[in-house]
Amino acid sequence: MTEHILAQYVGFIFLIPTRYVIESVYLIASVLFIFSLHWMSSPATARRGVLAGEIGMLLAIGGTLLHKDIVDWKWIAAALVLGTIIGIPLGKVQMTAVPQRTALSHAFGSLCVTLVGTAEFYLNSPGISPFTMSVLSMEVILGSLTFTGSLMAAGKLQEILPQRPITYKGQNIVNLSFLAVAVGIAGYLVMHPGAKYMFPFMVFIPLIFGVLMIIPIGGADMPTVISLLNSYAGLSAAAMGFVLNNKLLIIAGALDGSSGFILSVIMSKAMNRSFSNVLFGAFGQVQAAAAGAGEQKTVRSATPEEAAGILAAANKVVVVPGYGMAVAQAQHKVREMYDALTKKGVEVKFAIHPVAGRMPGHMNVLLAEADIPYDRLIEMDDINGDFPQTDVALIIGANDVTNPAARTDASSPIYGMPILDVDKARTVMVIKRGMSPGFAGIDNPLYYDDKTLMLFGDAKAFVGNIVRELSGGGH
């Protein structure tokens, strides 16, 4: 009772009714959120963007606590504390774990939205207007499928679940029929908002769909899928905004939904595949037939000493990092190599393919973590023209993004995909553990080229050896 009076007092102090205080706070938070994303345009202003988002969020939560319908703050406080306790370690994971952590956070976000939608339904049924029921259904269906879909994605990224796509004939029809049934139930509920027994089906069927949707998607397609799930999480929050008539939610949801959507489009273009192809066409099954039956192709290989010698003698070196470098945790050794070469007057740049890694921009973060200055990290479109003047292209843990078959071989599954033109450099060196294919499951003709030297070994160990040779080499 006293808390209720307190809430009235806050409004009274400003001589404004509480609900106007809350609406004004939400308005300010909306502005802060827009600035937050705007300031992410460059690393120089980005941290200001985080601060803006934090302030906006705190204001919005503070304002909401003044809501007139709240009778008791105990559960809220306990939940906020528990969420903070769980959230802190999640914020401190290693950079290599960021993709799966991001997927997990999409699951948490959509869980919140789905639960709120469910609770709102049962509180208000049968008195729900057709429009509200429609957006509530969207909220719940999107929320559920994003929940399980994101958990599946996190599992695949953490390698708890198999990364190879699992497909079977008619799979797309089966999956889509689950979705169709859920939408059908939604339609029924719009007409009969009192049908409380039907609602659980509308929650559980999309949960299954979320799992089935991710099963046929392989590791290499994860950047597109995570971006799409990011978008869905935002859209379900926007739907919640429509249900609760909360403009801040609608705005934040729309901002985040379009962010995820733009990233998915960028990722798809970078793989030269359409959305439907990523979602419904399995990619990455090992092409046994393509491995030229009985053909013995030779590769040239080199030792760390030889590699170090070639690198030290070069003027311009471009390093191409890939997921393999992340797995081997070689980024810090790579930085040492960067320092050693730069000291010898070699110009070293890093070529970043948009889908390198397991989520958009993953490589940049890993290299930044290793203290490599971000002006050395160049996007594919900006650096591709430099390869003909590059003395050495050093590829670490990347495969498909360097495969020239994407340009020339129309029968290749990666045909048309934009690649890094490493084969135009004067010398190519590839650090790889063995000759196994990358995620596209195909062979890479680059490896058999005369100017290519294979450097077999673990990335961290090999680069470490190169660094030793460069420092001990008494030049």
User: Which residues, 237 to 296, sit near another protein by CB under 8 A?
Assistant: 237-238, 240-242, 244-260, 262-263, 266
456 strand-pairing partners: 432
Count how many residues are written for the chain. 475
Of residues 373 through 412, those in contact with another protein by CB under 8 A are: 373-377, 379
| H/E run at residue 464 | helix 459-472
Nearer to another protein, 318 or 454 (CB): 318
The residue among 372 and 430 lying less far from another protein, judged by its C-beta, is 372
Q: Which stretch in 176-184, 327-335, 367-375, 411-419 sits in contact with another protein by CB under 8 A?
A: 367-375
Q: Is 227 in the site for another protein (CB under 8 A)?
A: yes
> 287-291, long-range: CB within 8 Å, 24+ apart, which pairs?
287/413, 287/437, 287/441, 287/442, 290/442, 290/443, 291/443
Residue 297 or 343: the one with the smaller Cβ distance to another protein is 343
Among 84, 296, 411, 436, binds another protein (CB under 8 A): 84
Q: Which of these segments, 111-119, 152-160, 300-308, 396-404, binds another protein (CB under 8 A)? A: 111-119
Tokens of 1: 């009772």
List, as one string, the DSSP characters of 421-445: -GGGSSEEEEEESSS---TT----G
Instruction: Compute φ and ψ for 160, nearest 5 degrees.
Output: -80, -30
- Which stretch in 8-16, 230-238, 310-318, 402-410 sits in contact with another protein by CB under 8 A? 230-238
From the list 122-130, 188-196, 205-213, 385-393, the region that binds another protein by CB under 8 A is: 122-130
Tokens of 123: 């509180």
Question: Nearer to another protein by C-beta: 147 or 209?
Answer: 147
The C-alpha atoms of residue 53 and residue 61 are separated, in whole angstroms, by 12
In what helix (H) or strand (E) does residue 183 lie, and over which residues does it extend?
Answer: helix 171-191
| Euclidean distance between CA atoms 390 and 425, whole angstroms | 5
Per-position x/- string for 87-106, each x denoting binding to another protein as judged by CB under 8 A, each - no binding:
xxxxxxx-x--x--xx--xx
Least CB distance to another protein at residue 440 (A): 22
Which stretches within 245-376 are classed as H helix?
247-271, 275-280, 304-313, 323-327, 331-343, 362-369
Query: Nearest Cα to 21, choosing from 3, 34, 9?
Result: 9
| Residue 194 in contact with another protein, rule: CB under 8 A | no
Give the helix/strand (H/E) hosting 93: none
Residue 339 falls in the annotated catalytic set: no
CB of 449 to another protein, least distance (A): 29
Order of all β-strands in the sheet with 347-352 = 300-301, 452-456, 427-432, 392-396, 316-321, 347-352, 377-379
As beta bridge partners, residue 300 has 453
Q: How far is the CB of 91 from another protein (least distance, A)?
A: 3
Q: How far is the CB of 188 from another protein (least distance, A)?
A: 21
Residue 109 binds another protein (CB under 8 A): yes
Q: Kindly name the residue from 221, 256, 400, 443 that is annotated as catalytic.
A: 400
- Write the burial class of residue 378 (CB in 10 Å: 0-12 exposed, 13-18 middle, 19+ buried): middle
CB 462 within 8 A of CB 420: no
* Min separation Cβ 379 and another protein, Å: 5
169 binds another protein (CB under 8 A): no
Residue 16: other Cβ atoms inside 10 A: 13
State the nearest-atom distance from the C-beta of 439 to another protein, in Å. Answer: 19
Q: What is each CA distance from 121 to 116, 125, 195, 244, in whole angstroms?
A: 9, 6, 10, 11
190 binds another protein (CB under 8 A): no
Chosen residue from 177, 276, 315, 342 binding another protein by CB under 8 A: 342
Out of 9, 14, 73, 204, point to the residue binding another protein (CB under 8 A).
73
Q: In terms of Cα–Cα distance, which of 207, 205, 216 is closest to 172?
A: 216
For residues 40 and 290, which CB has a smaller minimum distance to another protein in the complex?
A: 40
Given 16, 86, 174, 180, the residue binding another protein (CB under 8 A): 86
Question: Is residue 123 within the footprint of another protein (CB under 8 A)?
Answer: yes
Binding mask 422-461 for another protein (x = CB under 8 A): ----------------------------------------
Q: For another protein, what does the binding mask look like between residues 38 and 57, x meaning CB under 8 A?
A: x-xxxx--xx-xx--xx-xx
- Residue 335 as a binder of another protein (CB under 8 A): the answer is no
Q: Does 76 bind another protein (CB under 8 A)?
A: yes
Q: Check binding of 33 to another protein (CB under 8 A).
A: yes
Catalytic residues: 400
